[in-house]
Amino acid sequence: MVKQGVVPDELTKPFWDAANQGRLEMQNCSACNRLQNPPLPACSQCKSGEHLEWKEMSGRGKIYNYGVVYDCPVKLLQQEQPFNLVVITLDDDPGIQMYSHLPGTPVDEVPVGAAVQVIFEDTANGQKVPEWRVVA
């Protein structure tokens, strides 16, 4: 499933650069020792942007929840309908979620709770994006 291309912006550039190098990085507030996703200009706990850094993740997670998309607003994805749209939680911090199309898993056969591993896929403009696969 090829997603729309991504043009990194100032806030998210480290995330996308890391993805191009095959690493999953998350924003972390070193003062609070707390990860956050999606990325924000300030820590959502201490409200300061001073101590935000990017931290490499293990790339391991669990399937928290999912839905099956039959009527997608994004034109490029409409030809793939229906498709799984899964929410992953990171093993590094189960409070942190990421979206996934869960490539390799048949539609509506998503094993909630199963272990997943990050992979990196090309988007339409070549920017890589983190995706997830069920660990066999």
Partner 1 sequence: MTTENAPASMYRTTEGLGVWEHKGKVAAVGIGHSPTTRRWDGTPENTMGANSIIALRRAIEDAGVSPDQIDGLVLDPVTTTGAHWPEGQPIPMDVVNAFNPTDDPLDGIAKLSAEWILKNMPELTNVKFTMYGLGCMSHAIVVAAQAVGEGRTHTCLVLKSWHNLEGRYNQSGISAADTVPGTFALSPGRTLWGAPGSYGTALQFAEYCRKYGKSHDMMAPFMANSRRNGLLFPEGYWAQHRPEQLTAEDYLNARWIAKPASLFDNDIPIMVSGAYLFTTAERAKDMKQKPVYILNHASSRGAQRSILPTLDEVEAETASTGRKIYEGAGITADDLSFENMYDGFSLFHQFHLEGLRYRGMQNGDALDFYQTDISIEGPNPVLPSGGNIGSGRSRFWMHTDCIQQIQGRAGARQITGVKPEIGVSGGPMPMGGNFTVWSASPG
Strand partners, 134: 116
Cα angle value 10/62/7 (rounded, 5°): 20
5 Cβ contact partners less than 8 Å away, ≥ 6 residues apart: 123, 124, 125, 126, 127
43 touches, from partner 1, Zn ion, none (C-beta below 5 to 8 Å by class): Zn ion
Side by side, the strands of the sheet bearing 25-29 are 34-36, 25-29, 52-56
**Per rule CB under 8 A, is residue 116 in the interface with partner 1?**
no
110 half-sphere exposure, CB direction, 13 A CA radius: 25
Map residues 71-100 to x or -, x wherever contact with Zn ion holds by CB under 5 A.
------------------------------
Map residues 53-82 to x or -, x wherever contact with partner 1 holds by CB under 8 A.
-----------xxxxxxxxxxxx-x----x
Map residues 34-63 to x or -, x wherever contact with Zn ion holds by CB under 5 A.
---------x-xx-----------------
Cα–Cα distance measured from residue 31 to residue 85, given in angstroms and rounded to the nearest whole number: 33
**Per rule CB under 8 A, is residue 12 in the interface with partner 1?**
yes
By the criterion CB under 8 A, which residues form the site for partner 1?
Answer: 3-9, 11-13, 15-16, 36-39, 44, 64-75, 77, 82-83, 85, 87, 95-101, 108, 112, 123-125, 129
